[in-house]
Amino acid sequence: MSEIRYNAITGDWVIIAVERSKRPMNFSDAAAKASVPEYLDSCPFCRGNEHIAPDEEFRISDAEGGWRIRAVRNKFSALSFTGEPVALNNARRTINGVGRHEVIIESPRHNHFMAFHSTQQTVDLLSVYRNRFLNFYEDPRVKHVILYKNHGPEAGTSLEHPHSQIVGTPVVPGQVVQRIELAERSYRETGKCLFCRTMTEEIAEQKRLVAETEHFVAFIPFASLSPYHVWIFPKVHSACFSTISENAMTDLASLLNSVLGKLYTALHNPSYNFVIRSLSPQEADLPQFHWYLAIVPRIAKAAGFELGTGMYINSSVPEHSAETLRAADLPLPVTV
């Protein structure tokens, strides 16, 4: 029989459709994927094509004077880099669409995806994330910053070259507001952080754990909104990603590589999105919110039921998915 589970952190009801549960192979594209070249002359993110994406904001250089990671302004930014968030129509709550939007190019190589990163390569990437995150919050127009990555066509990526994005918006998005309110309500009722309590329960039960390190725990939520949806929580409470210590950053890089590598192996290189959910540096000490990283393989599609009800149908039992990932092998890292 199916179960209907409640996700206390997102506020969603989820149908865990046991009868429709699928093995990992059913979720993956069984067709052989064409090999990806190391360089494309038409790709704006490949080494040697920097003139196509010239608006560089930050980089990590290599020993030869080139670069390993670049942050550039997004040519097709969702928001305007110039201007002020002035109200245009108070009755309809409209403001100018100004803010910040950058692309973080993760490697000079067109085919060097995160599942094959070394720990140091991901540490470098996370350090760029933190640098740009703090820089965005120095802009007084920015009220919320989101760091995210789209991998694969089903995840909405338009360029194959491995990259992440960061956006600073002049408003706090409604979904973020909703989750803050849920966390605040839980804190008022219990006097404890909802995220910390959830993490403690998952560690105690072990059933949905994917991996655990000194500083982080990766698990599939009890009421996972979609198949193989993984959350990575820091064990030290903080509402803001930028408070991460150097030791914890290395730990997170190793864990993130492991989870992405296991997803790559178990689901045959699925499309996925990951998002760092965090409040601002000024809100880091808030006791009710806890930053975390969410990884969402795009192996199922929302349809009429989800659109019509706001409920999700998950055809993968979280406990079974976690067991599959724990058992999955890791691809070998590729050095550059």
> What is the distance between the alpha carbons of residues 289 and 187, in angstroms, rounded to a whole number?
9
User: Is 163 a residue of the active site?
Assistant: yes
Q: Are 10 and 3 in contact (CB under 8 A)?
A: no
Percent helix, strand, coil in the chain (nearest 5)?
35, 25, 45
Catalytic residue among 112, 163, 215, 290: 163
Look-up of token digits 């499309």 = 271
User: Which amino acid, 297?
Assistant: P
Q: Could you tell me the sign of the dihedral formed by the alpha carbons of 206, 121, 31, 299, in that order?
A: positive
Per DSSP, helices labelled H in 226-317 are 246-267, 304-309
What are the structure tokens assigned to 281, written together? 């540096």
Residues 6+ apart with CB under 8 A from 331: 115, 116, 261, 264, 265
Specify the pairing of strand 67-73 against strand 12-16.
unpaired
Q: Write out the catalytic residue numbers.
A: 163
